[in-house]
């Protein structure tokens, strides 16, 4: 069951133009200055563990479903227009992202705020309103997955943080 949801989550993200590589690039963007010797297999492993969490799978399923229904014009008014136009005061897309960022403590929240402001890589593409696609929920969900993964890496590899002198002395 769990494996099934994981595969579906990967497939859903891919169907909306988001690959595992895009997520890896976002995590590298967030962590490159903080964790030395951060390898791509380490990041990939962490992304997989985040994508295996039910909270994350639920957010991906729900967010993408709402984006697609809005793209097809199938939501009730006024929600249809609010989501299609990605109105700034709506805010439920960010609330849904918090269910992901909250998984690994407060660093996740800070990481999310930062990446949502800078919008590197795939986030810039998802935010391009000229494509006709609706990614109102997806951009926040993808940013939150990267932020949670970066927080997970920071929590599980404190010995690799270059400002952590206490642990480095013990090694």
The residue number with the shortest CB distance to Mg ion is 93
Q: Which is nearer to Mg ion, 22 or 140 (CB)?
A: 140
Window contacting Mg ion (CB under 5 A); options: 56-64, 109-117, 118-126, 134-142? 134-142
Q: Which is nearer to Mg ion, 111 or 136 (CB)?
A: 136
Q: Residue 39 Cβ, how far from Mg ion at the closest point, in Å?
A: 31
Q: Which is nearer to Mg ion, 52 or 119 (CB)?
A: 119
Output the DSSP codes for the chain. -HHHHHHHHHHHHHHTT--HHHHHHHHHHHHTTTBTT--HHHHHHHHHHHHTSHHHHHHHHHHHHHHHHHHTT-SPTTHHHHHHTT-TTT-HHHHHHHHHHGGG-HHHHHHHHHHHHH--THHHHHT-GGGS---TTHHHHHHHHHHHHHHHHHHH-GGGBTT-HHHHHH-
Window contacting Mg ion (CB under 5 A); options: 30-38, 51-59, 129-137, 144-152? 129-137
Q: Which of 140, 143, 145, 153 binds Mg ion (CB under 5 A)?
A: 140
Q: Is 93 among the residues that bind Mg ion (CB under 5 A)?
A: yes
Q: Residue 18 Cβ, how far from Mg ion at the closest point, in Å?
A: 14
Q: Could you list the residues that contact Mg ion (CB under 5 A)?
A: 93, 136, 139-140
């Amino acid at each position: 069951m769990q494996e099934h949801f994981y595969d579906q989550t990967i497939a859903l993200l891919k169907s909306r133009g988001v690959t595992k590589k895009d997520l890896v690039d976002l995590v590298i963007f967030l962590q490159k200055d903080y964790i030395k010797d951060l390898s791509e297999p380490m990041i990939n492993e962490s992304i997989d563990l985040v994508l295996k969490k039910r909270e994350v799978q639920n957010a991906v399923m729900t967010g993408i479903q709402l984006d697609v229904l809005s793209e097809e014009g199938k939501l009730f008014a006024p929600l249809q227009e609010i989501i299609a136009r990605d109105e700034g005061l709506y805010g439920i897309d960010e609330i849904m992202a918090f269910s992901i960022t909250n998984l690994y403590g407060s660093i996740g929240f800070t990481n999310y705020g930062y990446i949502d402001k800078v919008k590197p890589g795939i986030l810039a593409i998802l935010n391009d309103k000229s494509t006709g696609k609706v990614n109102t929920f997806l951009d926040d969900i993808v940013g939150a997955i990267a932020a949670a993964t970066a927080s997970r890496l920071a929590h599980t590899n404190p010995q690799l943080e270059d400002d952590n002198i206490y642990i480095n002395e013990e090694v």
